Amino acid sequence: MKKLISVMTAACLAASLAACGSTASSTPASSEAASSAAESAASEAADVQTYKVGICQLVQHVALDAATEGFKDALTEELGDAVSFDEQNAQGDSNTCSTIINGFVSDGVDLILANATPALQAAQAGTDTIPVLGTSVTEYGVALGIDDFDGLVGTNISGTSDLAPLDQQAAMLQELFPDAKTVGLLYCSAEANSQYQVDTVKACLEDIGYTCELYAFSDSNDLASVCQSASDASDVIYVPTDNTVASNTEIINNICLPGGTPVIAGEEGVCSGCGVATLSISYYDLGVATGKMAAKILTGESKIEEMPIEYAPQFTKKYNAANAEALGVTIPEDYVAIEG
* Half-sphere CA count of 26, side-chain side, radius 13 A: 12
Mean of the pLDDT values across residues 208-236? 97
pLDDT category at 40 given cuts 50, 70, 90 is low
Classify residue 234 as exposed, middle or buried by CB count within 10 Å of its CB (0-12, 13-18, 19+): buried
Task: For residues 94-106, give the mean pLDDT.
Answer: 98
Closest CA to 256 of 219, 217, 229, 216: 229
Average pLDDT, the chain: 89
The pLDDT confidence band at residue 23, using thresholds 50, 70 and 90, is: very low
Query: What are the tens digits of pLDDT across the range 260-274?
Result: 999 999 999 999 999
Q: How far apart are CA 211 and CA 209, in angstroms?
A: 7
- What pLDDT is recorded for position 31? 55
Whether the predicted pLDDT of 102 surpasses 60: yes
Q: pLDDT-based confidence at 48, cuts 50/70/90? A: confident
According to DSSP, the β-strands at 310-311 and 132-137 are unpaired
Q: Structure pTM? A: 0.81
pLDDT bucket at 47, cuts 50 / 70 / 90 = low
Tell me the per-residue pLDDT of 117-162, one tens digit each, with 9 for 90 and over: 999 999 999 999 999 999 999 999 999 999 999 999 999 999 999 9
Contact 114, 123 (CB under 8 A): yes
User: How many Cα atoms sit within 13 Å of 129 on the Cβ side?
Assistant: 7
What pLDDT was estimated at residue 20?
A: 41
Q: Is 30 a residue whose pLDDT tops 70?
A: no
pLDDT at residue number 313: 84
Q: How high is the pLDDT of residue 181?
A: 98
Q: Where does the pLDDT of residue 33 fall: very low under 50, low under 70, confident under 90, or very high at 90 and above? A: low
* Cβ–Cβ under 8 Å, residues 280 and 164: yes
User: Residue length, the chain?
Assistant: 340
User: Tell me, what's the pLDDT at 12?
Assistant: 41
Assign 29 a pLDDT band (cuts: 50, 70, 90). low
Is the distance from CB of 151 to CB of 308 less than 8 angstroms? yes
Residue 337: its pLDDT value, please? 97
Question: What per-residue confidence (pLDDT) applies to 68?
Answer: 98
